[in-house]
Structures are given as structure tokens and as C-alpha cells.
């Protein structure tokens, strides 16, 4: 049975967050009953919508866009200088040591962890220790390089530090890397990254933090290198922190990058090339093959400056209030089960990422109803954390085998999962109130549409209705002169 927490416990004061405009946050979206309503966007753990001022900044800087490094023109010199400045802004944001650390721009957290998995040297027999909480992107990249072991989590998705220590002690120095998420993209649980680092360092392991969820919502500091609680490598993505372009960053030990051959060899990564010999360039160039995402790094640095002006503490206070409101609202519904910790009293240890199931309603159906009947954008499924979802949903071996068989036959209709609402700085108490109202109706089996599931994709859509994107920007053939306007 789902034990409901006390709903009176948390009396947080709501402080209205002052933040610059976020583009498209109140787009009008169509509903099944032909109305149009301003969308309620609660899919921020996947991607956030961009800050208007960062988009404006890109427009201002674009006329000067030119490739960096060896260009001798004005624009190239300008972009080269700004690129270095942007790198600095990113490093400062997470408390790097500018002498000993380096910022490597990447496409995303996934690319960043793949980069680390490829440049960290593993001696035969060395392993990676991670947790059952991880996104696949902090699991699969390591599996190609070393044996990966997963620390268990309890039924609330919490990790035991004693278990971590026991494992490291028993491993006799075999663990080369402890790689953990800063916060779960399923349960919102925030991991004690600095306590984990102290333990991992005691046993000689490097500490990698997947900051994809944590960095956009909390002030994260890597701390000095000589502090045992120091984070060796931090990886995060701009698209989850209101940055308009696909860019992220890896921040960490320059000497480890220097000791490795490039993950992606190519133009820009070398000092000298002969047909039979290559001398690699120093870091960071040796890890930035080809033309980097120059505008992307500019956008990330500007986004960070905007977030700093809003204040990460203010973001945290605002999101905590809304998270407590959401947990308290869902706790009133006996049919709703929250994955992980559902007690609003523990919100200081969690982000505004709330995944839940509704008894008797498929997760894909619930997400479809929220979209088609309420204009609420959420996500459903396993959120790229299948081992964790199976654990939290208590999927039996038999159910799992059946599901695997169906997947092999191309049917996704039975895949276990949940619905996830994830907050961003633009969300309001009214958004949460509407979500709770909508979930209340779903829990009572009240909806209008006649939904059919596509057996192959597992998705539900209402009969006789589909979204029409014809009037939105796209790629249909334009009259050739329309581009000149
Ligand atoms: N780790 C976590 C915890 C995530 O939530 C995500 C994105 N959902 C990733 C890694 C992967 O990030 P990206 O899509 O930017 O590669």
C-alpha cells in the first residue's frame, strides 16, 4: 500500500521568482474539445525552453561569427577571444580550478560522459562503480571501457553510503571511477556528491558527477583539488538550463585529458602531422576535434550569466515550494503512487522531478490525457533509466521476460513506466494546481476522449483528433523569394 505522508508538514513561503522571459512558455495549444489554452510546460527535465535574452544575444553576436583559432581576420580574432572568455564563465560557474581544470564543450551530457569514458585510462581489471539510479547515459558509455558495477538503492531510490564504502573496501583498489548522478531524473533524489567523493577518494577512485539534472537547479561547486570532497569531473547540458542551443560541458582535470590520446582525433587536435607520426596538441585543443560549437558555447556562457543574475538560491527556493505543493497535492490521491521519496518534508534532498503512476491507467494514457485535454506537457515511460524503473515499479522477472519478448517482436505497448512532471523556473503555483486537478480526474477515470493505443509504439491517441502543425514554421517548399524578405 502507498503510505501517504502528512500533508500539513511543509509550510514554505512562496517567493515569486523574478526571471527573464522564457520563449514559448505559454504557447497556445489545441485541446480535444477544440479550445486553445496556454500550455503548461512540465517537461523541463528533458529540455527547457530558452531564455529570450540569450536568443537575442546570439542574434547580436552572429554577424561576427567566424571560425576560431587560426583565422587572422577581425571576426575570427573576436570569436577566438570570446570563446576563451565563455570557457571561463562556464568553469567559474561550477567552481573550477582554472589552472588544473579544463572546460571541454560538448554536445550534451551523453557526449561528455562518452568523452570521459574514452580518455580515462583503465588498467586491466579496473572497474567503474555507479548506482542503480543512473540515466543510461551514465552507464552505457562506461560499459564499453570497463566492467561496470551498480550500487543498489532502496525502494525509495536512496543510496547507502555505508554500502558504497563497503564496496570500495572490498574492491581492493580495483574501482578506478565512481560515477554518480547529481540528481535522479526519475525520482528527483539529490545525491550527497561531496560525501560520496570523500569516500571514493579514500579508496583512490576518481569521481565523476553527471550534473545533467542537478546543475540547472542547484548551485554546484567542484571544490578545491586538495579537498577530499572535490569533484574530479562534472558534466552537464545547456538544453536543460534554458540555453537555446545543443551544447554542454565537461569540467575537470587537465592532466588526465593531457595524458590521453584524443577521443575524436581530427583537425585542430594536433600540433604536427606526418604520414607516419602525429604530435597531439595540448588540452583543450586535443579534445575539440573539428570546428567546435562556437555559438553554442557563447549561448551556454550567457545562459549561465542569466541564471547567476536570477540567483541559483532563488531558483531553488521557488522550485522547492512548487515541489512541496505538487507532492502534497498528489498525496491526496490514493490511486497515485509517487516513485521514490514522496514525503514533502524531505524536499531539501530532491529536485522538482516527480514521477508517478496512476492505478489502473497506463502511463502513456495518462500523459496523453494531460496533453490532449489539459494542455499539460509531461513525459512518460522509463526516462532512459530502465533498471531503476523496473526496481521502483517492482517488475517481476516473469513480467520482465514477457515484456522483453514483446519488445523483440516490435511491440512496446506493455513496457512498464511512469508519468513524469518536472519543474522549471518559469512554473507557477497555478501550473501545479492545474496538474493536480488533472491527475485527480485521471485517477477517478474521468476523461473525455476515446483513446486507442498503438501496439508498436505504445502511445495513446484520441480517436478522431490529431495535432495539426501545418500553420507552424516548417520546411514545406516556400516561394523562393520568401527567403529574401
Ligand atoms: N543524465 C541525466 C541524469 C539526464 O537526465 C539526462 C537527460 N535526460 C542525461 C544524462 C543525458 O543528457 P543529454 O540528453 O543532454 O545527453
- Say if residues 293 and 231 touch (Cβ distance below 8 Å): no
Burial class (CB in 10 A: 0-12, 13-18, 19+), 274: exposed
Query: Are 289 and 368 in the same domain?
Result: no
Structural domain including 122 reads 53-308
Supply the CATH number for residue 426's domain: 3.90.1150.10
Query: Are 346 and 416 in the same domain?
Result: yes
How many structural domains comprise the chain? 2
Q: Which of 10, 11, 25 is nearest to 425 (CA)?
A: 25
Confidence class for position 11, pLDDT limits 50, 70, 90: low
pLDDT tens sequence across 372-419: 999 999 999 999 999 999 999 999 999 999 999 999 999 988 899 999
State which ligand 1 atom lies nearest to the alpha carbon of 237. Answer: 15
Select from 283, 308, 333 the last residue of a domain. Answer: 308
Angstrom distance (rounded) from CA 230 to CA 222:
6
Query: Are 458 and 346 in the same domain?
Result: yes
State which ligand 1 atom lies nearest to the alpha carbon of 134. Answer: 3
- Ligand 1 pocket test, pick from 105, 185, 340, 383 with the greatest ligand atom count within 8 Å of Cβ, gives 185
State which ligand 1 atom lies nearest to the alpha carbon of 112. Answer: 16
Cα 446 to averaged position of ligand 1 atoms, centre (Å): 34
Q: Which of 456, 434, 432, 238 is nearest to 318 (CA)?
A: 432
Cα 282 to averaged position of ligand 1 atoms, centre (Å): 29
Query: Are 391 and 404 in the same domain?
Result: yes
pLDDT tens sequence across 95-141: 999 999 999 999 999 999 999 999 999 999 999 999 999 999 999 99
Confidence class for position 485, pLDDT limits 50, 70, 90: low
Query: Are 69 and 132 in the same domain?
Result: yes
pLDDT score of 203 more than 60: yes
SS3 of the chain: helix, strand, coil, percent, to 5: 35, 20, 45
Query: Are 403 and 273 in the same domain?
Result: no
Q: What angle do CA 110, 115, 120 make, to 5 degrees?
A: 130
Cα 273 to averaged position of ligand 1 atoms, centre (Å): 36
Say whether 441 is catalytic.
no
pLDDT tens sequence across 288-310: 999 999 999 999 999 999 999 99
Cα 137 to averaged position of ligand 1 atoms, centre (Å): 6
Q: Which residues line ligand 1 (CB under 6 A)?
A: 45-46, 108-110, 135, 137-138, 181, 185, 210, 212-213, 237, 248, 384
Reported in sequence order, the residue ranges of 332-441 that DSSP labels E, i.e. its strands, are 336-338, 353-358, 376-377, 379-381, 418-422
Name which residue sits closest to atom 12 of ligand 1, judged by CA: 109
Query: Are 296 and 340 in the same domain?
Result: no
Query: Are 272 and 346 in the same domain?
Result: no
Q: 53, 79, 384, 403: which one is catalytic?
A: 384
Cα 149 to averaged position of ligand 1 atoms, centre (Å): 20
Amino acid at each position: 500500500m502507498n503510505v501517504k505522508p502528512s500533508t500539513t508538514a511543509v509550510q514554505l513561503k512562496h517567493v515569486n521568482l523574478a526571471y527573464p522571459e522564457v520563449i514559448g512558455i505559454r504557447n497556445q495549444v489545441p485541446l480535444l474539445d477544440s479550445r486553445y489554452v496556454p500550455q503548461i510546460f512540465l517537461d523541463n527535465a528533458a529540455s527547457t525552453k530558452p531564455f529570450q535574452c540569450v536568443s537575442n544575444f546570439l542574434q547580436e553576436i552572429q554577424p561576427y561569427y567566424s571560425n576560431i583559432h587560426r583565422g587572422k581576420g577581425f571576426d575570427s580574432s573576436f570569436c577566438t577571444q570570446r570563446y576563451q572568455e565563455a570557457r571561463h564563465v562556464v568553469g567559474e560557474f561550477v567552481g573550477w580550478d582554472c589552472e588544473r581544470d579544463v572546460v571541454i564543450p560538448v554536445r550534451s551530457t551523453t557526449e561528455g560522459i562518452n568523452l570521459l569514458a574514452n580518455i580515462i585510462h583503465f588498467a586491466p581489471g579496473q572497474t567503474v562503480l555507479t548506482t542503480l539510479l543512473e540515466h543510461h547515459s551514465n552507464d552505457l558509455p562506461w560499459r564499453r571501457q570497463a566492467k561496470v558495477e551498480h550500487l543498489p538503492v532502496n525502494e525509495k531510490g536512496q543510496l547507502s553510503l555505508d554500502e558504497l564504502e563497503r564496496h570500495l573496501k572490498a574492491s581492493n583498489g580495483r574501482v578506478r571511477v565512481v560515477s554518480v548522478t547529481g540528481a535522479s531524473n526519475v525520482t528527483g533524489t539529490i545525491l550527497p556528491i561531496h560525501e560520496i567523493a570523500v569516500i571514493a577518494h579514500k579508496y583512490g577512485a576518481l569521481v565523476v558527477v553527471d550534473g545533467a539534472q542537478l546543475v540547472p537547479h542547484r548551485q554546484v561547486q567542484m571544490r578545491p583539488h586538495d579537498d577530499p570532497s572535490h569533484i574530479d569531473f562534472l558534466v552537464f547540458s545547456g538544453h536543460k538550463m534554458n540555453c537555446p542551443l545543443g551544447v554542454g560541458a565537461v569540467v575537470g582535470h587537465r592532466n588526465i585529458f593531457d595524458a590521453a590520446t584524443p577521443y575524436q582525433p581530427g583537425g585542430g587536435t594536433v600540433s604536427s602531422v606526418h604520414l607516419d607520426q602525429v604530435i597531439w596538441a595540448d588540452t583543450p585543443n586535443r579534445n575539440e576535434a573539428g570546428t567546435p560549437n562556437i555559438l553554442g558555447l557563447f549561448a551556454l556562457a550567457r545562459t549561465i550569466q542569466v541564471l547567476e543574475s536570477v540567483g541559483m538560491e532563488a531558483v531553488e527556493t521557488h522550485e522547492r515550494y512548487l515541489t512541496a505543493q505538487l507532492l502534497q497535492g498528489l498525496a491526496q490521491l490514493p490511486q497515485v503512487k509517487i516513485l521514490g521519496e514522496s514525503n514533502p518534508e524531505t524536499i531539501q534532498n530532491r529536485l522538482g522531478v516527480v514521477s508517478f503512476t496512476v492505478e489502473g491507467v497506463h502511463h502513456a494514457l495518462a500523459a496523453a490525457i494531460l496533453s490532449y485535454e489539459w494542455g499539460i506537457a509531461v513525459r512518460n515511460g522509463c526516462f532512459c533509466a530502465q533498471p531503476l524503473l523496473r526496481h521502483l515499479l517492482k517488475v517481476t522477472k516473469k513480467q520482465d521476460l514477457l515484456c522483453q519478448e514483446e519488445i523483440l517482436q516490435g511491440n512496446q505497448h506493455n513496457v512498464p513506466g511512469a508519468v513524469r512532471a518536472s519543474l522549471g523556473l518559469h512554473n507557477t503555483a497555478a501550473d501545479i494546481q492545474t496538474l493536480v486537478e488533472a491527475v485527480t480526474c485521471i485517477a477517478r477515470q474521468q476523461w473525455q476522449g476515446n483513446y486507442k493505443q498503438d501496439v508498436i509504439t505504445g502511445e495513446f491517441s484520441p480517436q478522431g483528433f490529431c495535432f495539426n502543425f501545418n500553420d507552424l514554421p516548417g520546411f514545406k517548399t516556400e516561394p523562393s523569394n520568401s527567403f529574401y524578405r
